[in-house]
Amino acid sequence: MTLSYVTAPRTWEVIVAGGGTAGAIAGIAAARAGARVLVVEALGSLGGTGTNAWVTPLMRNVSGGQNLNRGLTDELKARLHARGDGATDPGGNDNWFNPEGMKTVLEQMLLEAGGEVLYHTHVVATLAAEGTEPSANGHSFAGESERTHLSALILHNKGGLQAFCAGVIIDATGDADVAVRAGAPFHAGDEDGVHQAMSLRFSLAGVDTGQLAEFLNANGQGQSSPDFLHFWMVWGKKSSLEPLFREAVAAGVLEERDGDYFQGFSVPGRPGEISFNCPRIRADLNDGADPWHLSAAQTDGRAAIDRLTDFCRTFLPGCERAYIGTVAPMVGVRETRRVKGDYTLTLDDILDCRRFSDSICRNHYPVDIHSVKGGARLLHEREGTAPYFAPDAYHEIPYRALIPATLRNVLVPGRAASSTFEAQSAIRVQQNCHTMGEAAGIAAAWAARDHGADVRAVDVAALQREMRRWGGNV
Ligand SMILES: Cc1cc2nc3c(=O)[nH]c(=O)nc-3n(C[C@H](O)[C@H](O)[C@H](O)COP(=O)(O)OP(=O)(O)OC[C@H]3O[C@@H](n4cnc5c(N)ncnc54)[C@H](O)[C@@H]3O)c2cc1C
Kindly state whether residues 251 and 349 are assigned to the same domain: no
Q: What is the pLDDT of residues 317-346, one digit of tens each?
A: 999 999 999 999 999 999 999 999 999 999
Q: How many distinct helices (H) and strands (E) make up the chain?
A: 12, 20
More confident residue, 328 or 382: 328
Q: Ligand 1 centre and the CA of 20: distance in Å?
A: 6
Among 274, 306, 327, residue at a domain's last position = 327
Kindly state whether residues 312 and 260 are assigned to the same domain: yes
User: Mean pLDDT of all residues in the chain?
Assistant: 95
Q: What is the pLDDT of residues 270-308, one digit of tens each?
A: 999 999 999 999 999 999 999 999 999 999 999 999 999
Ligand 1 pocket, mutate which of 43, 55, 126 (most atoms under 8 A from CB): 55
- Does residue 196 lie in a domain region? no
Residues 91-125 as b or e (16 or more Cβ within 10 Å = b): eebbbbbbbbbbbbbbbebbeebebbbbeebbbeb
Q: Ligand 1 centre and the CA of 247: distance in Å?
A: 34
Kindly state whether residues 52 and 181 are assigned to the same domain: yes
Kindly state whether residues 389 and 298 are assigned to the same domain: no
CB 199 within 8 A of CB 45: no
Q: Ligand 1 centre and the CA of 252: distance in Å?
A: 33
What pLDDT is attached to residue 143? 59
Kindly state whether residues 26 and 157 are assigned to the same domain: yes
Q: What is the pLDDT of residues 422-470, one digit of tens each?
A: 999 999 999 999 999 999 999 999 999 999 999 999 999 999 999 999 9
Kindly state whether residues 47 and 137 are assigned to the same domain: yes
φ, ψ of residue 285 in degrees (nearest 5): -100, 80
Q: What is the pLDDT of residues 91-125, one digit of tens each?
A: 999 999 999 999 999 999 999 999 999 999 999 99
Among 327, 358, 381, residue at a domain's last position = 327
What pLDDT is attached to residue 240? 97
> Is the pLDDT assigned to residue 383 strictly greater than 80?
no
Q: What pLDDT band is residue 141 in, cutting at 50, 70 and 90? A: very low
What pLDDT is attached to residue 140? 45
What pLDDT is attached to residue 139? 47
Contact 79 CB / ligand 1 (< 6 Å):
no
Among 296, 327, 358, residue at a domain's last position = 327
Kindly state whether residues 358 and 400 are assigned to the same domain: yes
**How many beta carbons lie within 10 A of that of residue 7, not counting itself?**
13
Q: Ligand 1 centre and the CA of 350: distance in Å?
A: 22
- Does residue 46 lie in a domain region? yes
Q: What percent of the chain has pLDDT over 70?
A: 96
Position 138, amino acid: G
What pLDDT is attached to residue 146? 82
Kindly state whether residues 177 and 241 are assigned to the same domain: no
What pLDDT is attached to residue 1? 63
- Does residue 1 lie in a domain region? no
Contact 21 CB / ligand 1 (< 6 Å):
yes
CB 43 within 8 A of CB 120: yes
Q: Ligand 1 centre and the CA of 332: distance in Å?
A: 7
Kindly state whether residues 114 and 10 are assigned to the same domain: yes
What pLDDT is attached to residue 2? 74
- Does residue 163 lie in a domain region? yes
Average pLDDT over residues 53-75: 96
**Concatenated DSSP letters of 64-119:** TTEES--THHHHHHHHHHHTTSEE--TTS---EE-HHHHHHHHHHHHHHTT-EEE-
Q: Which domain holds residue 270?
A: 202-327
Give the largest CA-CA distance in the chain.
69
Q: Domain holding 105: CATH number?
A: 3.50.50.60
Q: What pLDDT band is residue 384 in, cutting at 50, 70 and 90? A: confident
Kindly state whether residues 42 and 131 are assigned to the same domain: yes
- Does residue 434 lie in a domain region? yes
Contact 432 CB / ligand 1 (< 6 Å):
no
Q: Ligand 1 centre and the CA of 387: distance in Å?
A: 29
- Does residue 26 lie in a domain region? yes
Average pLDDT over residues 149-168: 98
What pLDDT is attached to residue 134? 77
**How many beta carbons lie within 10 A of that of residue 188, not counting itself?**
18
Q: What pLDDT band is residue 391 in, cutting at 50, 70 and 90? A: confident
Contact 40 CB / ligand 1 (< 6 Å):
yes
CA 418 to chain centre: 14
Kindly state whether residues 171 and 47 are assigned to the same domain: yes
- Does residue 258 lie in a domain region? yes
Kindly state whether residues 87 and 51 are assigned to the same domain: yes
- When divided into structural domains, the chain yields a total of 2
- Does residue 134 lie in a domain region? yes
